[in-house]
Amino acid sequence: MKLEYRLDDVLSNFPALWRYDDISLSELVCRMTCEYFYKDGKNYIVSATSKEPNNENVIYIKEEGFNSLDERKYKHIGLEFKEVVSKDIYNFIESKDLDSHDEALHYLHCDYVYLQRGNFLSEFKLDSRELDEDRKCYIFYGNFTGRTI
């Protein structure tokens, strides 16, 4: 599959920023599911996704700013869960090393997941999802609902 990231800027005629000529369907769907994208030290908001007539897939992004956090880099594919405290403030909850984008899809398409907190599994509700390409990591942002099992 082919994927292109384009800057969502009509005045510049939506310039292409990055192109991927051979990605799997599961990686494509993971990427198109995320509302945020991080690459080359910059944060972007995904504004739209598109399946073009030429069978090319496009993700349109708008630059949001820079991030200078020094966080764990994954060798293969990482998945992190972070609790939203307030705008731009998050508590790291846990991480998982995944073997495939198929595994990531399972989490990224959930509205709720259950995470271990002490002796209980606590319900964690989705807020947003991000792909941090620099770290090879998907991030599931959310909040605990108070429900446990």
CATH architecture for the domain at 77-148:
Beta Barrel (2.40)
pLDDT tens figures, 8-64? 999 999 999 999 999 999 999 999 999 999 999 999 999 999 999 988 999 999 999
pLDDT band at 87 (very low <50, low <70, confident <90, very high): confident
Per-residue three-class SS string for 5-39: EEECCHHHCCCEEEEECCCCHHHHHHHHHCCEEEE
Q: Between vectors from CA 1 to CA 49 and to CA 28, what angle results, nearest 5°? A: 45
How far apart CA 11 and CA 27 sit, in angstroms, is 30
Local structure of residue 29 (DSSP, 8 states): H
Question: What is the structure's pLDDT at 88?
Answer: 81
Measured between its terminal Cα atoms, the distance across the chain in Å is 40
108: pLDDT strictly greater than 70: yes
The residues spanned by each domain of the chain are 3-66, 77-148
Question: What is the structure's pLDDT at 30?
Answer: 98
What is the average pLDDT value for the chain, to the nearest integer?
95
* pTM higher than the cut 0.85: yes
Question: What is the structure's pLDDT at 36?
Answer: 97
